[in-house]
């Protein structure tokens, strides 16, 4: 394969693309044991760099551009924030460690660039999420799952009671489940939507509720358009899932009641509804005001937190040492990497959206599942997991890389 031209597409190397897809499926399957998942990232990255050096894999111009766009949007803010970070050693450590995501993104683009490997990867992600969904159903009915017993307040599924990410993970993988179900009929789509709604609701993360609602709205409109009968059927199933969760789970009812505290109309009720995040956001505002240009440094939020809050802050009581992160990705980026870091992120997302707008209608259809997943993960009117945490960084870069890789595969296609 050394005779490939520099602009050869990745569809010319289907074996490598399929291998990349299988590596990514293994990466996602190991999310409940993230140490193993990280090992897969490193080993697969070494393999793809070796293949690139040997000429077995070559990216075309558009694919190199997308690789650079996604990686530098993520990594440059870290680099910019490191020189005068409050925790300088930790910031430089993150800058060095996150270089591993460059070959990882290359792997994602390799898998997304071929139609056959892309289909394999999409179906693999759907199958993994469906398995975790069934495991959550078992835990909802018996109290046990592959991850052990349920946590006191919510379902934890295969992730275990000390790792409450089930709701978020199912929400961002739901576009692949729904797309796979829709290919087998609208009835199966409705069943998948209802089961996803039930388990994500019982998993308890209210931010995941909103993320899934966005996915369901986008997917339902794609599937049914203006067909009122099907849209009403979807709404009825979702209401039934909500009612079943409320009646069948005391834990879910408590979280609904906590959410209803926002109706009190005062800041105390709002803080209760937001799980006491208002002090965290005020602290983030203080960090932004004190370090507006390049922030306090990536992963420095917890160490800086005591400097920007009152002594009676909820997150400084007892054994607590402060909030780990800003619980909102825009505030996290601004606080830890400043205006320069946020500019990198918004520029990257803006250029990615521009590429989406210019892509052919057929390719936008291929990119719809990762696009919905990215929207769910980064929707600004929500709370979020830590953007620069080891786990969530890998999740986001997988989704962004898939979206970028699909769009880059249309270099010679017609433009809308």
Predicted confidence at residue 265, as pLDDT, reads 58
Q: What is the pLDDT of residue 386?
A: 93
Read off φ and ψ for residue 274, nearest 5 degrees.
-95, 15
Is 301 a member of any domain? no
- Asked whether residue 24 is domain-assigned, the answer is yes
- Number of structural domains in the chain: 2
- Would you state the structure tokens that stand for residue 399, as one six-digit string? 């989704």
In a domain, 312, yes or no: no
Mapped onto helix, strand or coil, the DSSP state of residue 297 is coil
Whole domain around residue 69: which residue ranges? 7-112+338-416
| CA 158/CA 147 separation, integer angstroms | 4
pLDDT of residue 85: 93
Q: What is the CA radius of gyration of the chain?
A: 22
Residue 32 and residue 62 share a domain: yes
End-of-domain residue from the set 256, 277, 298: 277
H or E segment to which residue 334 belongs: helix 329-358
Rounded Cα gap, residues 143 and 20, in angstroms? 36
| Whether residue 259 is found in the same domain as residue 408 | no
Structure tokens at 254: 């408590």
Question: How high is the mean pLDDT in each 10-residue block of the chain (416 residues)?
Answer: 38 68 95 91 88 80 93 97 92 94 94 91 97 93 86 82 92 96 90 92 87 91 75 74 66 66 60 75 93 94 87 70 87 96 97 93 93 96 92 96 90 38
Any domain includes 184:
yes
Out of 262, 277, 292, a domain closes at 277
Domain assignment of residue 145, yes or no: yes
Same domain? For 76 and 21 the reply is yes
Is residue 145 classed as helix, strand or coil in its secondary structure?
strand
Q: Domain check: are 361 and 236 in the same one?
A: no
Q: What is the pLDDT of residues 24-42, one digit of tens each?
A: 999 999 999 988 999 998 9
Same domain, 263 and 408: no
User: HSE of 229 in the Cβ direction (CA atoms, 13 Å)?
Assistant: 2
Q: Mind listing the pLDDT tens digit for each residue in 364-415?
A: 999 999 999 999 999 999 999 999 998 999 999 999 999 999 999 854 333 3
Q: Please check whether residues 103 and 131 belong to one and the same domain.
A: no
Coil, helix or strand for 282?
A: helix
Q: How far apart are CA 315 and CA 312, in angstroms?
A: 8
Q: What is the pTM of this model?
A: 0.90
Q: Which residues pair with 144 in a beta bridge?
A: 149
Tokens of 77: 């803010």
Residue 52 belongs to some domain of the structure: yes
Are 277 and 383 in contact, with CB atoms under 8 Å apart?
yes
264 and 132 together in one domain: yes
Residue where the block lists tokens 């930790």? 90
Contact by Cβ (8 Å): 92, 38? no
* Residue 133: inside a domain: yes
Burial class (CB in 10 A: 0-12, 13-18, 19+), 391: middle
In this prediction, residue 258 carries a pLDDT of 66
Q: What tokens appear for 405 in the block?
A: 């890789």
Domain assignment present for residue 306? The answer is no
Instruction: Determine the pLDDT at residue 10.
Output: 35
**Which residue from 400, 282, 380, 274 is spatially nearest to 330, judged by alpha carbons?**
380
Residue 82 and residue 128 in one domain: no
Q: How does pLDDT run across 70-100, given as a tens digit for each residue?
A: 999 999 999 999 999 998 999 999 999 999 9
Q: Are 126 and 264 within one domain? A: yes
- How much is the pLDDT for 57? 75
**Tokens standing for residue 247:** 């009646």
The pLDDT of residue 147 is 87
End residue of a domain, out of 277, 306, 330: 277
- Tally of CB atoms within 10 A around 134: 15
Q: What is the reported pLDDT for 253?
A: 66
DSSP per residue over 77-104, as a string?
HHHHHSTT-TTHHHHHHHHHHGGGHHHH
């Amino acid at each position: 394969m050394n005779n490939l031209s520099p602009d050869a597409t990745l569809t010319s190397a289907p074996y490598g693309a399929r291998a990349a897809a299988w590596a990514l499926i293994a990466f996602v399957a190991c999310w409940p044991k993230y140490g193993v998942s990280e090992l897969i990232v490193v080993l697969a990255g070494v393999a793809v760099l070796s293949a690139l050096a040997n000429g077995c894999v070559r990216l075309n111009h558009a694919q190199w551009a997308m690789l650079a766009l996604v990686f530098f949007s993520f990594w440059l803010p870290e680099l910019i924030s490191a020189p005068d970070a409050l925790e300088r050693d930790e910031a430089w450590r993150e800058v060095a460690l996150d270089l591993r995501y460059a070959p990882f993104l290359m792997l994602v683009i390799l898998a997304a660039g071929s139609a056959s490997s892309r289909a394999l990867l999409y179906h693999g992600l759907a199958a993994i999420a469906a398995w975790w969904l069934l495991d959550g159903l078992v835990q909802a009915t018996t109290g046990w799952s592959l991850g052990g017993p349920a946590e006191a307040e919510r379902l934890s599924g295969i992730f275990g009671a000390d790792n409450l990410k089930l709701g978020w993970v199912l929400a961002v993988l739901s576009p692949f489940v729904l797309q796979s179900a829709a290919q087998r009929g609208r009835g199966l789509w409705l069943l998948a939507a209802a089961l996803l709604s039930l388990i994500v609701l019982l998993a308890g993360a209210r931010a995941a509720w909103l993320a899934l609602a966005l996915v369901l709205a986008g997917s339902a409109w794609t599937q049914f358009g203006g067909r009122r009968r099907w849209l009403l059927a979807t709404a009825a199933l979702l209401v039934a899932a909500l009612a079943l969760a409320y009646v069948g789970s005391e834990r879910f009812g408590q979280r609904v009641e906590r959410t209803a505290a926002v109706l009190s109309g005062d800041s105390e009720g709002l803080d209760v509804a937001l799980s006491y995040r208002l002090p965290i956001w005020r602290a983030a505002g203080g960090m932004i005001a004190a370090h507006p240009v390049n922030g306090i440094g990536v992963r420095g939020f917890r160490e800086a937190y005591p400097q920007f809050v009152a002594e009676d802050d909820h997150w400084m009581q007892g054994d607590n040492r402060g909030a780990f992160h800003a619980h909102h990705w825009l505030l996290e980026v601004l606080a830890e990497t400043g205006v320069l870091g946020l500019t990198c992120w918004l520029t990257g997302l803006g250029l990615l959206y521009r590429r989406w707008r210019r892509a052919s209608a057929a390719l936008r259809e291929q990119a719809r599942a990762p696009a919905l997943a990215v929207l769910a993960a980064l929707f600004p009117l929500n709370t979020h997991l830590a953007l620069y945490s080891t786990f969530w960084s890998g999740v986001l870069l997988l989704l962004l890389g898939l979206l970028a890789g699909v769009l880059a595969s249309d270099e010679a296609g017609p433009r809308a």
